[in-house]
Amino acid sequence: MAKTIGILTAGGDSPGLNAAIRGVGKTLHEIYKIRVIGFRDGFRGLAENKTLQLEPNTLSGILTIGGTILGTSRDKPHRMLMDGETRNMTDTIAANYHAHQLDALVCLGGGGTQKNALKLKQAGLKILTLPKTIDNDVALTDTTIGFDTAIGIATEAIDRLHSTAHSHHRIIVVEIMGHKAGWLTLSAGIAGGADVILIPELPYTIELVVEAILQRVKKGKNFSIVAVAEGTMSEKEIATLRTLEGQIEASEDKMDRKKARDKLTRMEAKRANHTLRLAQQLEMFTGLESRVTILGHLQRGGTPSAADRLLATRLGSACADLIAANVHGVMVAARGAKTQPVPLEDVAGQRKLVPIDHPWLENARRVGTCIGSSVDDKG
């Protein structure tokens, strides 16, 4: 019997997903004569048996299209809301996998998808994954599908903001995606010529940021662009966070633990307005009018860049080769101009963060960019 492969996209959408679907599907069809079935809306589609036949005609014309023709969701196989109740749908997913007589399932996604894929592998399914996220934080791969396109979008936004910042003598604080990882903010900040770049890996002090902006004013530059990742925290916030976490872990008193947890919850809720509060602080301390621009989901949309199309095609084609060779339980990683299968156990639960000694940080400092970190600025 001819082989049949399933494919789904999970987690947040990302430019290049359709190119990856095409890369896997066309290679399987053209080279190996293997049938391909798509499951709609991520792992939920596999649980609810919602399919799309990925015939050659279906795969034609999707290379340049953003988003994903399969749809996506953030549902987890082991914790899925079904009929108002959170249920473990792993057995149902496995049953549908076998009902379609799948020889393997390809999951396209970021860090969460890698963890969910590993759980399905542990349940006995043959799984392969491709790394996709604009955050570029999936472990053990040089880069991820969607990252390059997002850099271009964020860089263009910074380019445009320079005009209005210069014209009105303002500080423009632009929030870029990246909850835990600063790859996107750092790369777009450097490419866009941001004057200050703040990332989660290097907690900042407001004094250093203010000093850098005031030094620009002394040089006759009455505007500044501050690129900040959405997950960035100040050194004071980090200290408070660690204190509360320590109290929760160390306290033997139930009420004390509850108080600490409540404070932590309030702190997390307050952090939703972090970028706005940062702009208000900068305006107060510098005397310059400040404005906030939050790029949000704009960074995920639109046509994938040429680099992302190439990456998605390379990874997709390599994935098809691994399927034909009966290799599974791996993520297809980008390594230079080549690809490499990496065991899911080595990827799941890991996050690739910006090292504090990364060359990009040194490059930023050398051109006069403030990183906002006392540790970094002493380096």
Active-site residue among 41, 75, 103, 135? 135
* Residue 257: both structure tokens together: 């633990």
One-letter amino acid at 72 equals T
Same-fold call for 4-146+304-347 versus 150-300+356-377: yes
* Residue 302: both structure tokens together: 């639109």
pLDDT value at 161 more than 70: yes
pLDDT computed for residue 297 by the predictor: 87
The CATH number of the structural domain formed by 4-146+304-347 is 3.40.50.450
According to CATH, the topology of domain 150-300+356-377 is Rossmann fold (3.40.50)
pLDDT tens-digit series, residues 269-313:
666 788 999 999 999 999 999 999 999 888 888 899 999 999 999
Q: Where are the domains of the chain?
A: 4-146+304-347, 150-300+356-377
pLDDT value at 378 more than 60: no
* Residue 203: both structure tokens together: 């907690």
pLDDT computed for residue 261 by the predictor: 77
Closest of 29, 34, 38, 53 to residue 6, by C-alpha? 38
Q: Rounded mean pLDDT of 324-339?
A: 97
- For this structure, is 135 an active site residue? yes
Closest of 244, 294, 292 to residue 267, by C-alpha? 244
Using a cut of 0.85, tell me whether the model's pTM lies above it. yes
Instruction: Compute the distance between CA of residue 351 and CA of residue 138 in angstroms, rounded to an integer.
Output: 6
3-state secondary structure (DSSP) of residue 304: coil
**Distance of CA 33 to CAs 29, 55, 324, Å?**
5, 11, 10
Place 377 in a pLDDT band, splitting at 50, 70 and 90: very low
**Distance of CA 1 to CAs 20, 96, 97, 103, 107, Å?**
26, 18, 16, 11, 23
- Please, what's the largest Cα pairwise distance for the chain? 75
Instruction: Compute the distance between CA of residue 168 and CA of residue 311 in angstroms, rounded to an integer.
Output: 40
H helices, E strands: number in the chain? 15, 13
Place 72 in a pLDDT band, splitting at 50, 70 and 90: very high
Burial of 287 (0-12, 13-18, 19+ CB in 10 A): exposed
Torsion angle, alpha carbons of 85, 91, 96, 97, to 10: 130
pLDDT tens-digit series, residues 203-248:
999 999 999 999 999 999 989 999 999 989 988 888 887 877 777 7
